Structure 1
């Protein structure tokens, strides 16, 4: 599960950076959102994506 979480976060960051470069600079805020979510999950030990992955049936 944690490998899937890291993969999803990494892909989302790369997509955000590509959108920032090729589409519009404001897409950088998507990267900021992802970073803030990762930071809050470090403190709260709760990540919304983990909840989604569990509901999707991914085993820990």
Structure 2
């Protein structure tokens, strides 16, 4: 899998996990969803994403 689809997959899975944790464990996990959304918004404006850097270091092809 290439870099951009992998990034979208990870972001979507993290968001769904955070919603499940919010529902089943504690409402404070909602802040994890807020963090994910804020990171996606920030990366749209700055074109810098920590997950892309990590995936590149792990050898995921662009």
Normalising by the residue count of structure 1, what TM-score does the alignment of the two structures yield? 0.99
Corresponding residue for residue 46 of structure 1 = 48
Shift in Å at residue 48 of structure 1? 0.4
Which consecutive aligned stretches of 4+ in structure 1 deviate over 2 angstroms post-superposition?
none
Aligned partners of 1:42, 1:52: CA distance in 2, in Å? 17
Aligned partners of 1:59, 1:10: CA distance in 2, in Å? 20
Structure 2: unaligned runs, 5 residues or longer: none
Corresponding residue for residue 12 of structure 1 = 14
Aligned partners of 1:3, 1:39: CA distance in 2, in Å? 17
Aligned residues: 60
Normalising by the residue count of structure 2, what TM-score does the alignment of the two structures yield? 0.96
RMSD, matched Cα: 0.3
Structure 1: unaligned runs, 5 residues or longer: none
Corresponding residue for residue 4 of structure 2 = 2
Higher relative contact order (CA 8 A, sep 6+): 2
